[in-house]
């Protein structure tokens, strides 16, 4: 099937998914919330045994799309709830993909882009890549990504990254365990494919069973915590600070926080 925000190519049992909005630095749109779970479901049901996800152009994924952010200001509470559900569903589809998934991070992966990049089984990143959970800077809440981040890096480091919203590089992401390997830009896709080929050579039954058991250990806790994340994400969108942060970001000015 066709997708408006990404490309899918399958060769030699390896699926390559390319986020394909280079003019928007592959920013996440409402349509991408739908396309990513759909393409992962297609690959899961198809002949490919490993998937690679990367970005077109110079960025992996620059976070939320500006047009999607503008739409938030006019959404009803019911629409907000559905939007949050779709966002969480996108992250769940990456985290719970039943086959090995490699993220080839070719450039900045910010906010939701950091989530997409680091929820894969393997994350290869170029030295110039940037990461960051920047939601607090504009009155958002990094709720869904926090569910996974705390399990990846531990509570203390998760607190520091989420509460500051600061940008950090590949070396720090590697040290924290969010990136598997730093790879020169000129060989990124070559090394991602070599890793994929090494996985294709393994038992597909064993790989599927290994992923299944890894996901089962935390399944109930993750599902519970994501429900909390959905509730909190919807709640913060009704606050004055959320509206101020959103407007300030869109108007490219410093926010004037009210603390409400």
The lowest-confidence range among 13-17, 84-88, 187-191 is 84-88
Q: What is the pLDDT of residues 67-117, one digit of tens each?
A: 887 787 778 888 888 989 999 999 999 999 999 999 999 999 999 999 999
Q: What is the pLDDT of residues 132-148, one digit of tens each?
A: 999 999 899 999 999 99
What is the Cα Rg of the chain in Å?
Answer: 18
* Residues recognised as catalytic: 135
The lowest-confidence range among 49-53, 186-190, 209-213, 215-219 is 215-219
pTM summary value: 0.95
Domains and CATH numbers, the chain: 6-185 (3.90.226.10)
More confident residue, 239 or 69: 239
Beta carbons of 119 and 148 less than 8 angstroms apart: yes
């Amino acid at each position: 099937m066709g997708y408006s925000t990404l490309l899918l190519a399958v060769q030699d049992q390896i699926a390559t998914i390319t986020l394909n909005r280079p003019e928007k630095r592959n920013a996440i749109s409402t349509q991408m919330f739908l396309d990513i779970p759909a393409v992962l479901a297609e690959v899961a049901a198809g002949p490919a045994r490993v998937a690679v996800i990367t970005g077109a152009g110079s960025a992996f994924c620059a976070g939320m799309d500006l047009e999607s952010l503008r739409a938030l200001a006019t959404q009803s509470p019911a629409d907000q709830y559905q939007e949050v559900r779709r966002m969480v569903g996108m992250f769940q589809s990456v985290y719970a993909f039943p086959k090995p998934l490699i993220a080839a991070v070719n450039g900045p992966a910010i906010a939701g882009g950091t989530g997409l990049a680091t929820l894969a089984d393997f994350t290869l990143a170029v030295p110039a890549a940037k990461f960051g959970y920047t939601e607090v800077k504009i009155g958002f809440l990094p709720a869904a990504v926090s569910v996974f981040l705390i399990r990846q890096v531990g509570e203390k480091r998760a607190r520091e990254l989420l509460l500051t919203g600061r940008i950090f590089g590949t070396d720090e992401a590697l040290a924290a365990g969010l990136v598997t390997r730093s790879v020169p830009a000129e060989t990124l896709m070559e090394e991602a494919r070599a890793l994929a080929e090494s996985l294709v050579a393994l038992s597909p039954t064993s790989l599927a069973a290994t992923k299944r058991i890894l996901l089962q250990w935390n399944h109930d806790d993750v599902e519970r915590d994501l429900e909390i994340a959905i509730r909190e994400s919807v709640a913060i969108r009704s606050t004055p600070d959320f509206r101020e942060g959103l407007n300030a970001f869109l108007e490219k000015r410093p926010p004037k926080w009210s603390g409400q």
